[in-house]
Amino acid sequence: MSYRLDDFAVEMPFDVGSFTQVNERLNNVMVRRAVEMLSPQRGERVVDLFCGLGNFTLPLARSGAHVTGVEGLPALTDRARRNAVLNGCGNASFETADLFCADGLSRFWRGADKMLLDPPRAGAYEVVKSLRPSEMPARVVYVSCNPASFARDAAVLGEKGYKFKSLGVMNLFSQTAHVESVGCFER
């Protein structure tokens, strides 16, 4: 099984039981908007936290930036690595780490120019609260499926000195109360 991110010529195989976005057409739109907001440039270092199987990582890598994807589930990290090889994204690397435990998280974004966050419904509270002024990427794009955790984490980013630049909302799950938000923050 697989889906395609047409704008980036990326094929995304996935395993049964792996998390994927079920609305392929709107996932393409969401990925394109997130990549446009982050605006990765050749030679930049980008970190994609909660990367899953590489849904954002590989399109970001197409820009020429070096992208490190970090995921908590080893099976997804392994699938992301295989997807990077399949798609010829040698500038994408992947690590497995518990992103809900603040200990040692800063090693992933230390020296990064930009960061993409795509956490599960619980949000990325440990990540955003762990950001230190000397290690903060210049731009953060936050993709969220939960408006409450997004608002909580956006407030922390504001306290850290980030300015809210733009927001988009997408209804990937029609006829439900669930929406996806994509927000951009800069310092």
154 CB neighbour count, 10 Å cutoff: 22
> Which residues make Cβ contacts (< 8 Å) with residue 56, sequence separation at least 6?
31, 34, 35, 48, 116, 118, 143
End-to-end CA distance of the chain: 40
- Tens-of-pLDDT digits for all 187 residues of the chain? 887 888 888 988 888 777 767 767 888 999 999 999 999 999 999 999 999 999 999 999 999 999 999 999 999 999 999 999 999 999 999 999 999 987 888 899 999 999 999 999 999 999 999 999 899 999 999 999 999 999 999 999 999 999 999 999 888 777 777 788 999 999 9
Instruction: Give the active site residues.
Output: 145
Q: Tell me the CA distances in angstroms from 12 to 54, 58, 81, 149, one per residue in order.
A: 8, 9, 11, 28
- What is the longest distance spanned by two Cα atoms in the chain? 44
Q: How far apart are CA 43 and CA 46, in angstroms?
A: 9
- pTM of the prediction? 0.93
Query: What b/e readout covers 97-110, taking b as 16+ CB neighbours within 10 angstroms?
Result: bebbeeeebeebbe
